[in-house]
Amino acid sequence: MARYPFRETEAKWQRLWEEEGCFHADRDPDRPKYYVLEMFPYPSGRIHMGHVRNYTVGDVVARLKRRQGYNVLHPMGWDAFGLPAENAALEQGVHPKSWTYRNIAEMREQIRAIGCSLDWRREFATCDPAYYRHEQEMFLDFLERGLAYRKEGWVNWDPVEQTVLANEQVIDGRGWRSGAPVERRKLPMWYFRITRYAEELLAGLERLERWPEKVKLMQRNWIGRSEGARVVFPVEGRSAALEVFTTRPDTLWGASFLAVAPDHPFSEELAREDPAARAFIRECLRTAASEEAIEKAEKKGYHTGLYARHPLAGEGAPERLPIYIANFVLMDYGTGAIFGCPAHDQRDLEFARAYGLPVRPVVLPPGADEAGFTIGEEAWLGDGTLFRSGFLNGLPVAEAKRRVIAWLEAHGAGRAEVTYRLRDWGVSRQRYWGCPIPVIHCPDCGVVPVPRDQLPVTLPEDVDFSQPGNPLDRHPTWKFVDCPRCGGPAQRETDTFDTFVESSWYFARFASPWREDRSFEGEDVGYWLPVDQYVGGIEHAVLHLLYARFFTRALRDCGYLQCDEPFAGLFTQGMITHRTYRDPEGRWIEPGEVRRAEDGRLVTLDGRPVVVGRVEKMSKSKKNTVDPTTIIQQYGADTARLFMLSDSPPERDLEWTDAGVEGAYRYLNRLWRLVEERLPELPPPGAGLTEPVGPEERALKRRIHQTIQRVSEELERFHFNKAVALLRELSNAIEAFRTTTPSGRGLVREALEALVSLFEPMIPHLAEELWQRLGHGEPLARTPWPKADPAWLAEDTVRIVVQVNGRRRAEIELPAPAGEEEVRVRALSEPGVVRHLQGREPRRLVYVPGRLLNIVL
RNA sequence: GGCCCCUUGGCGGAACCGGUAGACGCAGCGGACUUAAAAUCCGCUCGGGCGCCUGCCCGGUCCGGGUUCGAGUCCCGGAGGGGCCA
């Protein structure tokens, strides 16, 4: 029997879809729209299996929705700015632009080979001035509205990438891409005021019903809302007071010191007069800025010799508190100053023990007694009752917080305050291959925005990568311009945007990508946005996905868009993993360099023993990758797609195995043969519905319609593995069904058509081919999704399990619907049941209609 | 350290609201076809026992306890693994 000729078939259908424009989407107010988007790729040069899984999942949704009658927008583009292009320039002497466009050309063909239902007319690359000019305009709008600003501050510096990183891009104290430990540097840079939207971004999560809880939780934690109070501590002998943020104002009576951040203005002022303070501050700032690093570092402080008056001194709190400069206080969280309450904060406790400060418990844990309660190695962080705390005595923590805040507000000594852990998004990067920030620095006028009629500010092409640092800054002419305001000599900003800026609005650009004068066509974005189903990796949970939510709101407030949320539904697919292998010397080796020896053990191609390692995420460094292009050439795109969808639920990690791919390939051939073998006996297409005769035919008819129903539901819920299992069951049933009657042959046609049609979103090429062979002129891509006939969803008999004391003893089959009385009579006469009753009288009968009867003795 | 999630055959996984645990596959074993192999097809496949081909019984969803007529599913405690924030 011939094999399925996948090469010809896949090429044929891809050509046909393209020629017919099957996947072109245009605004049509009369039809409901559905926008499916997968996170667009960085053009690194080759696609990897993660891309294939991502696009396959998105394509199943797009094809399903299209056939359900939606006007489906499913575009593809390129996240084309970024550092790897500059590294390539450095290593290979190729210009970042040509490297990028060459990669795009290659990857476009690789992605096309997967056979996704994409509207390629809308493709764009973010490195195109036609794209980034709009980003520059958005920035100018942000600038006017105070959503973008420039400030000098301590930043995370990636020594490998030679650029600044945002907080979200520092993972475990290291650059998210380079993996190098980040350093602290003080630099002027541009920020987006994401903190203005902290509350809205947090509240908006509640309405994102089709987002994974896990992602929402991560964003919630990242935004990190905390309620507390700002408390004013006058400093003795100084006119200025220190303002402190605390989430535990209830513990004010337990205060034993104040601590300020090393880069707090108060510290900087002291440093001017006190060389020891200056030295201490310098020491602190040398260590990394991350919260994690600070948490792990030894708690160190410098006693300034100054004291603060406790605002509650008159209410029995300690009179005066020593002021320290401390390495564990962060300038950009709260007010950059804290009061230390060692009894009820672990960091404060460690600090107090190191510097001999008093530890005064003021919250009594439930069940403890006032006289005997002391703090040992662990601060008490839990709830309890206030004591030794003046007018708070006897109150629980929550109530004490309210009371003390009311007192502070009444006495002008503080107020309730909400703070967030979220920091403003630093977007300056000292790189060439990014969108230029459209401002000019004038010695007289300061920062001057580039006039809108001079946009876009384009990158110069003649750049020199032979030296480290930012080539834009070194360029002989590019940055030297006249000030647009005074006409005097001035300089362009040489920082470019973080590449996460481009990906923060690309989904909206797909609505009207050909528009030159404006970023978006109002009617287009109004029609297409928000994205109905976004698909991508979970690694962007707090990076891209948070930035895009912010950007959408900022664009809304600047009048670009009407919607708040960019992505109404989000699906995060799991990673692709693969077994790792090493040679006897311990070097990683590729799966292709491993073979099975005659004795069954794994050896290298030259016969040396292989050390089998763990199953890990596919990565170049571990050499456990499989190239999708090779797989597609060897087995076809449908095989890769089916394997991706078959066994593991898409949100979980998927282990790539040769056996799994072979299995998918074998099934496609079996499906091909199944149709080919039955074709001669089938009635012509469109002969109308078949009325089944006899129990076997009725059973097949029911299975067809139950499969239509259930596959539709499972695809809708992203349970692709279950949809595949159901379809394999249907195809097993067709194989087992032998017939010679006209009605039987009609049923086989109905079954095969349902099978092929339902499989189309997952294995579109083979499905189209078989659909055509079944005699249809219109491609499946344009054929409506099948509908189950409700009359055939119900079984005409019911099987009821009979239990005695919760243990299965018999199964009875009755015509549907079966009444309880009927079931009871039949059940009690079943031999298996009688045997276990042993003549005893049932105490109770529990009947679950249509399912089960439990006889309780 | 805090919060969250997960744990089902040799493996991936299924089991809807608490109602027949192991669907569908992978791997394995046995058989058919073939000179042979590949491909394909048929059968078996959680463990133990009985029965001796029709089946029947016991145990079994990480461990311990609880709720319930009935728990993989709910509750409490523990172990192991993962994620996020520290």
A153-189, pLDDT tens digit by residue?
778 888 877 778 776 677 767 777 777 877 878 889 9
**Candidate from A2-6, A545-549, A559-563, A764-768 with smallest mean pLDDT:** A2-6
Say if strands A654-655 and A576-582 run parallel, antiparallel, or are unpaired: parallel
Q: Is A477 left (phi over 0), alpha (psi -120 to 50) or beta?
A: alpha
Question: pLDDT band for position A238 (50/70/90)?
Answer: confident
The contacts of residue A170 (CB under 8 Å, 6+ apart) are A156, A176, A182, A290
Residue carrying the six token digits 């201490």: A280
The contacts of residue A402 (CB under 8 Å, 6+ apart) are none
Q: A181-204 burial, b for 16+ CB within 10 Å, e for fewer? A: bbebeeeebbbbbbbbbbeebbeb
Instruction: Note the pLDDT of residue A560.
Output: 94
Measured from Cα to the C1' atom, the residue closest to B25 is A647
CA–C1' gap, A805 and B64, in angstroms: 24
CA–C1' gap, A529 and B24, in angstroms: 38
Distance separating alpha carbons of residues A388 and A409, to the nearest angstrom:
22
List of A residues 284-303 with CB within 7 A of strand B: 291-292, 294-295
Distance separating alpha carbons of residues A725 and A562, to the nearest angstrom:
42
* Cα Rg, chain A, nearest whole Å: 34
Distance separating alpha carbons of residues A31 and A814, to the nearest angstrom:
46
List of A residues 777-836 with CB within 7 A of strand B: 799, 801, 803, 805-811, 832, 835-836
Say if strands A852-856 and A797-804 run parallel, antiparallel, or are unpaired: parallel
Question: pLDDT band for position A780 (50/70/90)?
Answer: very high
Closest CA to A333 of A452, A210, A418: A418
Instruction: Note the pLDDT of residue A296.
Output: 59
Residue A291 has pLDDT above 70, yes or no: no
List of A residues 92-151 with CB within 7 A of strand B: none
φ, ψ for residue A664, nearest 5 deg = -65, -40
Distances (CA, A) of A840 to A119, A135, A821, A844: 71, 82, 20, 12
**Identity of the residue numbered A732:** N
CA–C1' gap, A343 and B12, in angstroms: 51
Read off the pLDDT of each residue in A77-94 and give the average, rounded to a whole number: 89
Q: Is the CB of A846 under 7 A from strand B?
A: yes
Instruction: Note the pLDDT of residue A830.
Output: 80
Segment A675-691, tens digit of pLDDT: 998 999 899 987 777 78
CA–C1' gap, A511 and B61, in angstroms: 49
Segment A411-450, tens digit of pLDDT: 999 999 888 889 899 899 888 999 999 999 999 999 999 9
Measured from Cα to the C1' atom, the residue closest to B56 is A832
CA–C1' gap, A839 and B52, in angstroms: 29
**Candidate from A107-111, A378-382, A513-517 with smallest mean pLDDT:** A378-382
Question: pLDDT band for position A525 (50/70/90)?
Answer: very high
Distance separating alpha carbons of residues A773 and A771, to the nearest angstrom:
5
Q: What nucleotide is nearest A855 when CA is compared to C1'?
A: B69
**β strands within A53-137, DSSP E:** 71-73
**Candidate from A27-31, A221-225, A786-790 with smallest mean pLDDT:** A221-225
SS (H, E, C) A538-599: HHHCCCHHHHHHHHHHHHHHCCCCCCCCCECEEEEECCEEEEEEECCCCCEECHHHEEECCC
Cis peptide preceding A249, ω within 30 of 0: no
Q: What nucleotide is nearest A851 when CA is compared to C1'?
A: B19
Measured from Cα to the C1' atom, the residue closest to B4 is A214
Q: Is the CB of A647 under 7 A from strand B?
A: yes
CB-contacted nucleotides of strand B (7 Å): 2-5, 12-15, 19-21, 23-27, 39-42, 56-58, 69-71, 83-86
**Candidate from A363-367, A404-408, A452-456, A565-569 with smallest mean pLDDT:** A363-367
Closest CA to A37 of A127, A92, A117: A117
> Long-range contact list for A513-522, CB < 8 A, 24+ apart?
A513/A75, A513/A77, A513/A122, A513/A123, A513/A124, A514/A122, A516/A130, A518/A134, A519/A134, A519/A137, A519/A138, A519/A560, A520/A560, A520/A561
Q: Which domains does chain A have, with CATH numbers?
A: 31-126+500-573 (3.40.50.620), 135-193+424-497 (3.40.50.620), 225-420 (3.90.740.10), 682-792 (1.10.730.10), 797-856 (3.10.20.590)
Instruction: Note the pLDDT of residue A683.
Output: 92
Q: Is the CB of A596 under 7 A from strand B?
A: no
Q: What is the DSSP letter of A266?
A: H
Measured from Cα to the C1' atom, the residue closest to B57 is A809
Q: What nucleotide is nearest A295 when CA is compared to C1'?
A: B86
Q: What nucleotide is nearest A664 when CA is compared to C1'?
A: B25
List of A residues 328-367 with CB within 7 A of strand B: none
CA–C1' gap, A721 and B24, in angstroms: 9
Read off the pLDDT of each residue in A494-511 and give the average, rounded to a whole number: 95
Closest CA to A318 of A350, A342, A335: A342
Instruction: Note the pLDDT of residue A168.
Output: 65
Read off the pLDDT of each residue in A826-849 and give the average, rounded to a whole number: 81
Instruction: Note the pLDDT of residue A600.
Output: 62
- Find how far residue A791's CA is from the centre of its chain: 42
Instruction: Note the pLDDT of residue A114.
Output: 96
Question: pLDDT band for position A297 (50/70/90)?
Answer: low
Mean pLDDT of all residues belonging to chain A: 89
Higher-pLDDT residue of A808, A532: A532
Instruction: Note the pLDDT of residue A496.
Output: 95
Q: What nucleotide is nearest A172 when CA is compared to C1'?
A: B86
**Contact by Cβ (8 Å): A392, A400:** yes
User: Residue A234: enclosing H or E segment and its boundaries?
Assistant: strand A225-234
Cis peptide preceding A761, ω within 30 of 0: no
Query: Where are the alpha helices (H) located in A717-851, listed in sequence order?
Result: 720-736, 742-759, 764-773, 820-828, 831-837
Question: pLDDT band for position A599 (50/70/90)?
Answer: low
SS3 A803: strand
Instruction: Note the pLDDT of residue A499.
Output: 93
Instruction: Note the pLDDT of residue A827.
Output: 83
Q: What is the ipTM of this complex?
A: 0.94
- The CA angle A784-A788-A789, to the nearest 5 degrees, is 120
Q: What nucleotide is nearest A296 when CA is compared to C1'?
A: B86
Instruction: Note the pLDDT of residue A322.
Output: 93
Q: Which of A181-185, A306-310, A618-622 has the highest mean pLDDT?
A: A306-310
Higher-pLDDT residue of A702, A618: A702
Segment A715-773, tens digit of pLDDT: 999 999 999 999 999 999 999 888 888 899 999 999 999 999 999 999 999 999 999 99
Instruction: Note the pLDDT of residue A294.
Output: 58
Q: What nucleotide is nearest A673 when CA is compared to C1'?
A: B40
Instruction: Note the pLDDT of residue A109.
Output: 96
Q: Count Cβ atoms within 10 A of the Cβ of residue A59 and give its class: 0-12 exposed, 13-18 middle, 19 or more buried.
A: buried
CA–C1' gap, A424 and B77, in angstroms: 43
Q: Is A805 left (phi over 0), alpha (psi -120 to 50) or beta?
A: left
- The CA angle A280-A285-A286, to the nearest 5 degrees, is 100
**Contact by Cβ (8 Å): A254, A344:** yes
Distances (CA, A) of A441 to A118, A154, A480, A539, A591: 44, 21, 10, 37, 54
SS3 A496: strand
- The CA angle A558-A562-A566, to the nearest 5 degrees, is 100
Say if strands A257-260 and A446-449 run parallel, antiparallel, or are unpaired: unpaired
Instruction: Note the pLDDT of residue A494.
Output: 94
Residue A785 has pLDDT above 90, yes or no: yes
Distance separating alpha carbons of residues A364 and A371, to the nearest angstrom:
10
List of A residues 190-249 with CB within 7 A of strand B: 213-214, 217-218, 221-222, 224
List of A residues 661-680 with CB within 7 A of strand B: 662-663, 666-667, 669-670
CA–C1' gap, A814 and B60, in angstroms: 31
The contacts of residue A802 (CB under 8 Å, 6+ apart) are A808, A809, A810, A811, A812, A827, A830, A832, A833, A852, A853, A855
Read off the pLDDT of each residue in A646-663 and give the average, rounded to a whole number: 88
> Long-range contact list for A713-720, CB < 8 A, 24+ apart?
A715/A60, A715/A61, A715/A64, A715/A761, A716/A64, A718/A57, A718/A571, A718/A649, A718/A650, A718/A651, A719/A649, A720/A57, A720/A60, A720/A645, A720/A646, A720/A649, A720/A650, A720/A762
Residue A2 has pLDDT above 70, yes or no: no
User: What percent of chain A is predicted at pLDDT more than 70?
Assistant: 97
The contacts of residue A355 (CB under 8 Å, 6+ apart) are A257, A301, A303, A324
Instruction: Note the pLDDT of residue A382.
Output: 78
Q: Is A73 left (phi over 0), alpha (psi -120 to 50) or beta?
A: beta
